[in-house]
Chains A and B, each alone.
Chain A
Amino acid sequence: MSETASKGQDYESSLSGASQEVAAFEDNRKGLIHRLQHALHVTPALVPLIVLVVALLIFGLTLGSRFFSPGTLTLILQQVQIVGILAAAQTLIILTAGIDLSVGAIAVFCSVIMGQFSFRYGIPPAIAIPCGLAVGTAIGAASGWLVSRVKLPPFIVTLGMWQIVLAANYLYSQNETIRSQDIRAEAPLLGLMGVRFEMGGAIVTLGVVTMIVLVIVLAYALRSTAWGRHVYAVGDDAEAAELAGVDRHRTIMSVYMLAGFICAIAGWVMIGRFGSVSPSASTGVVGNIQSITAVVIGGISLFGGRGSIWGAFFGALIVGTFELGLRMAGANAQWTYLLIGALIIGAVAVDQWIRKVTA
């Protein structure tokens, strides 16, 4: 053995003359492009923020003060409040490498539950609203359980859940709309999210405030708590996260339940925004695609584990800015969709490019 061992050791003797510097974490790529790539890698919300600022500037310069007024700018916020909240829920799911097609349906169903509980059963809105929030959380829990325990793909689970919830919504409500004058007269709490404050032409509703607070709270939780780190780790590489000591099941369950809860809040905001409770609100059908659009434009990777909730917020604002700006400019509405489509593809291309830092 001694001979083999000494032979085995021999090759290392030449190490004595080698450089003593070992595996330094030095970043020797100094090019401007690489720096940009690195900056984007560290702060992925930078791209949508830049796009948003540029879009605001372009519309501002072409449309002038008609666009750059407090009223118009806050109108954008009001128009994106529902999609913005749904996008917050969607962000959580997508960060775990999932996708949620049922967000809009849950929102509509929960708004219907809040309304019907109040009007059909005479339950005080102060109880009917928490009931709606609980139903949203429960639907999220069901999806989360199917994803985590039964190991079904999130796409399939939420595709099914979307249809189930939407159908349940029509069956339960008997396609009946609750009129806004009834809500104002008998259950004003349902419309609470529509309460508006006016400051020098700027109009802010409680729904908008809720959206912004929600994004701030989630940004904090994702960045500064263990739970947030676990969400990213599970989305990045679920197996590795589990081996490293993350409770994958608990993390996934918490994410789907929280997403369901947030969708229910979106349902409450819908009542405030539209004034009435309608089971056939378009959010039920297009809310999922709108929220995914905002998330993708926001630079959040559909493969999970990358991106920040601010990106989704900016993504929702970008869509809102395009819609309003192009409408004010008198352009055909199809231009909005065309530009949004280009943005989606561009955002994913940028995501792929950022990931190349790995190599």
Chain B
Amino acid sequence: MTDPILTARGLTKRYGKVTALDRCDFDLYPGEILAVIGDNGAGKSSLIKALSGAVIPDDGEIKLDGSKVNFHSPIDARAHGIETVYQTLAMSPALSIVDNMFMGREIRQQGPMGRFLRRLDKPAMERVAREKLNDLGLMTIQNINQPVETLSGGQRQGVAVARAAAFGSKVIILDEPTAALGVKESRKVLDLIQDVKARGMPIVLISHNMPHVFEVADRIHVHRLGKRLCVVNPKEISMNDAVAYMTGAKEAPGAREAA
């Protein structure tokens, strides 16, 4: 089997007396969709935040493409090609769709206006943003400059996913991407996930929605009590089993860690 693109070994994170990550391991292979499931408080979010640079683990190491990386901020992780859509979406409500999509990676104008006056190339940013949103097929946009706060929850989610899909180069992490969406919009996002996968981009998907997980995931990482309990193949087990593993109702299938 090919080497994993993103691995973590022995990740540990403590908040006071609470151990959110307890020597946790993680593997993501090229071109796959890996779902991470786990009960509330299992440490999924801490794991994702460690991988995306939002949290600095106390111990353990993360390797991207075989070389060790140390993320000190989400900007670091992004610079390495890891894009994350957070559950909170990380958008500035009062700013426009374009501003949000290009936050932290604005395009400057060519020529002296850009070089000396640092003027942004708004037409170019608008064009790219429009393209990316159209790729997603999620929306017919009236006004790409409208503030994000005037959008519905689903539309905001769409913009956040489009942002990650547009700029991620190595890994895309999606934290509960369908949680706030209606049936139709969920379908669009799932299609988009398949779409992104088809382009060869590996995806980490955190979700509580078992039908969604079983539909798109190639492998399922079951997280329990701050560590990886097991990795299962959705084609071999039932949703009931998966839920039983993650809640501890059923013993996990032996050592399948690296499967």
- Expressed in whole angstroms, the Cα–Cα distance for A260 and B104 within the complex equals 25
Judging by beta carbons under 8 Å apart, are B240 and A225 in contact? no
With beta carbons under 8 angstroms apart, the residue of B92, B147, B183 that contacts A241 is: B92
- The answer to whether residues A18 and B235 also contact, given A236-B95, A247-B75 and a CB cut-off of 8 A, is no
- Expressed in whole angstroms, the Cα–Cα distance for A18 and B186 within the complex equals 14
The contact string, 1 if C-beta is below 8 Å from chain B, for chain A 208-240, is 000000000000100011110110110011011
Judging by beta carbons under 8 Å apart, are B95 and A11 in contact? no
- The answer to whether residues A22 and B188 also contact, given A4-B240, A244-B91 and a CB cut-off of 8 A, is yes
- Nearest chain A CB to B110's CB is how many angstroms away? 15
Inside 8 A of B89's CB, which chain A residues have their CB? 240
- The answer to whether residues A1 and B238 also contact, given A23-B185, A24-B142, A244-B104 and a CB cut-off of 8 A, is yes
Which residues of B from 91 to 139 have beta carbons under 8 Å from A? 91-95, 99-100, 103-106, 108, 117-120, 122, 137-139
Instruction: List 16 additional A-B contacts (Cβ < 8 Å) besides A27-B143, A226-B108, A229-B106.
Output: A1-B238, A5-B214, A9-B215, A18-B184, A23-B138, A220-B117, A229-B99, A232-B94, A232-B95, A233-B95, A236-B93, A240-B91, A243-B88, A244-B74, A244-B90, A244-B91
**CB nearest to B157 among chain A residues:** A23
Inside 8 A of A15's CB, which chain B residues have their CB? 183-184, 187
Inside 8 A of B234's CB, which chain A residues have their CB? 1
**CB nearest to B107 among chain A residues:** A226
B19, CB-defined interface residue at 8 Å: no
- Interface size class for chain A? 35 or more
- Expressed in whole angstroms, the Cα–Cα distance for A299 and B142 within the complex equals 27
19 A-B pairs (CB sep. < 8 Å): A1-B237, A4-B214, A4-B238, A5-B211, A9-B211, A9-B215, A18-B184, A24-B140, A27-B150, A225-B119, A236-B93, A239-B88, A240-B89, A240-B92, A244-B100, A245-B105, A247-B73, A357-B150, A358-B150
- Expressed in whole angstroms, the Cα–Cα distance for A4 and B213 within the complex equals 12
A-B pair number, CB within 8 angstroms: 144
The contact string, 1 if C-beta is below 8 Å from chain B, for chain A 97-110, is 00000000000000
A41, CB-defined interface residue at 8 Å: yes
Judging by beta carbons under 8 Å apart, are A226 and B118 in contact? yes
- Nearest chain B CB to A44's CB is how many angstroms away? 10
- Expressed in whole angstroms, the Cα–Cα distance for A4 and B209 within the complex equals 13
- Nearest chain A CB to B115's CB is how many angstroms away? 12
Judging by beta carbons under 8 Å apart, are B215 and A229 in contact? no
Listed from nearest, the 6 A-B pairs whose CB atoms lie closest are: A245-B104, A8-B211, A243-B90, A226-B106, A236-B92, A244-B103
B170, CB-defined interface residue at 8 Å: no
- Nearest chain B CB to A80's CB is how many angstroms away? 28
- Nearest chain A CB to B222's CB is how many angstroms away? 15
- Nearest chain A CB to B186's CB is how many angstroms away? 9
- Expressed in whole angstroms, the Cα–Cα distance for A269 and B96 within the complex equals 37
Judging by beta carbons under 8 Å apart, are A41 and B147 in contact? yes
A182, CB-defined interface residue at 8 Å: no
The contact string, 1 if C-beta is below 8 Å from chain B, for chain A 252-269, is 000000000000000000
Interface residues in chain A, defined as those with a beta carbon under 8 Å from any beta carbon in chain B: 1, 4-5, 8-9, 11-12, 15, 18, 21-27, 41-42, 220, 224-227, 229-230, 232-233, 236-237, 239-247, 305-306, 357-358
Inside 8 A of B147's CB, which chain A residues have their CB? 41-42, 357
- Nearest chain A CB to B49's CB is how many angstroms away? 9
B65, CB-defined interface residue at 8 Å: no
B152, CB-defined interface residue at 8 Å: yes
Which residues of B from 49 to 103 have beta carbons under 8 Å from A? 54, 73-75, 78, 84, 86, 88-95, 99-100, 103
- Expressed in whole angstroms, the Cα–Cα distance for A1 and B211 within the complex equals 10
- Expressed in whole angstroms, the Cα–Cα distance for A27 and B145 within the complex equals 13
- Expressed in whole angstroms, the Cα–Cα distance for A25 and B92 within the complex equals 18
**CB nearest to A236 among chain B residues:** B92
B194, CB-defined interface residue at 8 Å: no
- Nearest chain A CB to B119's CB is how many angstroms away? 5
**CB nearest to B104 among chain A residues:** A245
B146, CB-defined interface residue at 8 Å: yes
- Expressed in whole angstroms, the Cα–Cα distance for A27 and B146 within the complex equals 10
**CB nearest to A11 among chain B residues:** B183
- The answer to whether residues A25 and B187 also contact, given A8-B239, A237-B93 and a CB cut-off of 8 A, is no
**CB nearest to B86 among chain A residues:** A243
